[in-house]
Amino acid sequence: MLDQMTFSGDLWLSPGPGGWTFVTLPLESADQIRFVTGGQKTKSWGMIKVKVTIGSSTWRTTIWPDKASGSFLLPVKAAVRRAEKVSAGDRVEVDMTVLAGSDV
């Protein structure tokens, strides 16, 4: 299905306030997401609802558009990083599904 994808990416720590940890989606995945969503802009700064699995951890979140990379940023919360024993600089395998608007 086009709304599902698997990719690898490196965890990185944002230098901004709060110390968020992200994975930048590969450009191919970003293109697939734009195709699936029809390139529609959402009300929440372009955020798109997704269901994500890394290792044995599955959660729902939103991905954020990133002008610098031309892709999207996936925030990876601390509870997932602890459970999967990963941190900034580690490469992770991500399974992700784009959700319909009311699924989160």
Comparing C-alpha atoms, which of 25, 27, 103 is closest to residue 61? 103
What CATH class has 4-98? mainly beta
Q: 49-94 pLDDT, tens per residue?
A: 999 999 999 999 999 999 999 999 999 999 999 999 999 999 999 9
| pTM for the full predicted model | 0.87
Neighbours of 17 (CB within 10 A): 6
**Cβ 54 vs Cβ 92: under 8 Å:** yes
